Amino acid sequence: MKRKLIAAIGIAGMMVSIAACGDDKGSGGSDKGADAKELTVWLTVDAQNNWPDLVKAADAAVQKKHPGVKINHEYYGWPDKNAKLDAVLATDKAPDVVEMGNSEMLSYMVKGAFAPVDPAKFTNSDQWLDGLKTSVTYDGKTYGVPYYAGGRVGNWRKDVFASVGVKSTPKTYKELTAALDKVQKKEGKKFSAWYQPTRDWYAAMSFVYDAGGSIAVESGGQWKANLSSPESVKGLKEFKNVVDKYMHGDKTKDESDRYIVYGQGKSGMIFGAAWEGATSELPDNDKTGKLKGNLENFVMPGPSGKNLPVFLGGSDLAIPVKSDAQALAAEWINAFTGPSGQKGLIAKGNLPNNKTDLAPLKNDPATAVPATAAESNWFVPMAPGWGQVEKAQVLQTMLQNIGTGKESVEDAAKEADAAIDKVINTK
């Protein structure tokens, strides 16, 4: 996948709180809009540019069942989509289907902007990937349908590791760190054996979850921060160990330009979205002239002895509560995300939304790494105030203070917990 899955939760001030319709079971669970004659579908430009045939196939399936139905499509870039959606949701002209980054769903669900759906109406819903299923679930209800997924993997330069006698990707964390130690010793302090941006909370939280910790825990309908628990601290300390030993770049940076930095040739490895390695070796980014065909993805092993749990990004499809064609919208979504749609998405380099379709990909050399990595995954706390936590960059601040040595792991984690607890239960 050649785009970033942006964890943007905040909604513009014009977004209004919309109560879910009291008499409707929701799309996929009622007949509201079953006889609609027109459907408006908003997707991102990824679908328009990369799999327009899948969109046409879904249209055809719906129109075969409902002759004469008109289906309109609008396509938006990721930076523009939410501002346009916020504006239209304040009117009576909401689209019937809208694509959302899975990390964008929560604030809209909290505000009541999307209609609840009945998962039983959608193919393979009982096999949805855990992280994607979590992203469409709030307060015990389902408000969307997973579309496709994207995971995180390790990527290293084969030439750099071969130069210290390492010729195969690591299967255990001990193998990984042993190889990194050799590279760091050979290349010296001006080289990052592992370029790991300090503020990259997706990577840091993978270590936290691997150690049995979490960002926050829910009990009795209330959320409480959990970063200062012994398990979470253990994971944070291992993340700090990685940064201290192998990251010799600017320790105040985030991951936004990691693929560009990697392309500059001063690092041997990264851990990031599966598309980052391939993007680093493109001519515009490869400043060494050596990366093409020399980079290799691998499943990140974790200190626990299991694969490192990864943040599972991706897209979901939701139905605005103001839609007058909710039942028809649900039919279109099921046609688009069903077995044939998933097959098409896989062929385009995406991961499917469900475990049934994911399993065979682990046996295909072309897809084995991202498919295997995606099996073990985590997602953000589905708490009403999580958007405020992200907006305040609580995790990034904690990690920078840890990575730069400004605070101990324990002190930084306690401060982060206090900041999270102030807002995490606030709508």
Give every CB contact of residue 190 below 8 A, 6+ residues apart in sequence. Answer: 248, 266
Q: How many CA atoms lie within 13 A of 38 on its CB side?
A: 6
Angle at the Cα of 422 from the Cα atoms of 417 and 425, rounded to 5 degrees: 105
Handedness of CA 198, 202, 208, 214 (dihedral sign): positive
Amino acid at 169: T
Measured between alpha carbons, how far is residue 173 from residues 78, 109, 165 in Å? 35, 38, 17
Query: 151 falls in which pLDDT band (50, 70, 90)?
Result: confident
Residue range 257-300, pLDDT digits in tens: 999 999 999 999 999 999 999 999 999 999 999 999 999 999 99
Average pLDDT rounded to a whole number, residues 358-375: 95
Calculate helix-pair angle for 173-187, 230-246, nearest 10 degrees: 30
Q: Are 309 and 126 in contact (CB under 8 A)?
A: no
Q: How do residues 337-356 score in pLDDT, each as one tens digit?
A: 999 999 999 999 899 999 99
- DSSP label at residue 181: H
Closest CA to 163 of 138, 135, 191: 191
- What are the DSSP calls for 297-366, one per residue? EEPPB-TTSSBPPEE-EEEEEE-BTT-S-HHHHHHHHHHHHSHHHHHHHHHTTPBPSBHHHHGGGGGSTT
| Whole-structure pTM value | 0.89
pLDDT tens-digit readout, 372-411: 999 999 999 999 999 999 999 999 999 999 999 999 999 9
List phi, psi (to 5°) of 41: -120, 125
Kindly report, residue by residue over 166-223, the tens digit of the pLDDT: 999 999 999 999 999 999 999 999 999 999 999 999 999 999 999 999 999 999 999 9
Strands 152-157 and 295-298: antiparallel
Residue with tokens 């607890």, as numbered in its chain: 421
Report which secondary-structure segment, H or E, holds 224: strand 222-225
Contact 116, 139 (CB under 8 A): no
Q: Which pLDDT band holds residue 161 (cuts at 50, 70, 90)? A: very high
Ramachandran angles phi, psi of 28, nearest 5°? 80, -5
Provide the pLDDT for residue 71.
Answer: 98
Coil, strand or helix: which one is 105? helix
Question: Which pair of structure tokens corresponds to residue 135?
Answer: 């992203």
Cα-Cα end-to-end distance for the chain: 33
> Residue ranges of the alpha helices (H) in 188-325?
201-210, 230-246, 258-263, 276-280
pLDDT for res 22: 34
What amino acid is encoded at 174 in this protein?
A: K
Segment 19-48 shows an average pLDDT of: 70
Query: Which residues touch 128 (CB under 8 Å, ≥6 apart)?
Result: 119, 146, 353, 354, 355
